[in-house]
Structure 1
């Protein structure tokens, strides 16, 4: 069995690395550079988009971070990261990959959707999206069942980054949710590995 993650320490690949650390399976991490190695023919044969992360599992390629996290939860059931409540899992995973990411990205880029055009975007309005997340996480500790699962890793990572960089307001519910998951040993290991690589890149560069 081979697992290889193609990533960069300043990318969504940090989520995929956290997921791999949760699995406890051996894997290799290949760090790529945005301007050079991500655009080589060898890597474009893996991901023609020329971006990371990408996962290769026994010759099978998975791209897109939400797909990688979902695939690994399903492929390694012994890790216990695919919850019994699949409906909630898929609901919030696709919420995270679609409306949530789009809303936060547009907000960061200064894209304002006119009220009469909100039907064109999956999140409607940034305020409505935040209210939905806030109400949900005020009523439960985790998104799919009564314990941590892969959907908390994916959506929770986005919340953590949003709180860190100020693209999300630090509401009581969002802050408490992030506090529940941020100190998981697998996340701390993954962050340590990526932070060390980032420091090496800066030193070498």
Structure 2
């Protein structure tokens, strides 16, 4: 995305919330460069697709149902933000802080989450088809009902919660477990060779690594 994008970009649909819309407009009027402070604001229902928000602050913001297709959130802080039902298709979330965020039902197909931090995230029923997760920290992430088909991982910490409806078809790469599996028979934690076999049975091509202390 070119450096001039900031000056020409206009949000397809401004946030319905007046305070959030005013903050966004002030940032655009100032040239739309540098990080934007959206801490605690309500951007729900907006269409911010194509926006460049590198090193910005979306901490505790509400982005429920917000369209964020192709946005650039490189190194942004979205800790505790609510992205329920948001569309983050092909978004760049490289090195973003998403700790304690809500991604329930969100679409992150083809998104780039390389080296992002996801601790305590609710990503249940989310779609992460073809998502790049290399080097991302996935700790206590709820992936129940989520679709991780074709997702790419590389030496990821993958201490997540999944269930019988979580999809792993075509997921590839390497990870560190263990994974907590919730099924009708109860909860079970699996790691190592057992986890690797289990993922392969579900169509994944994943190598489970052993930690060396």
Q: Normalising by structure 1, what TM-score?
A: 0.25
TM-score, normalization: structure 2?
A: 0.24
Q: Of the two structures, which has the highest relative contact order with CA contacts closer than 8 Å and spacing of 6 or more?
A: 1
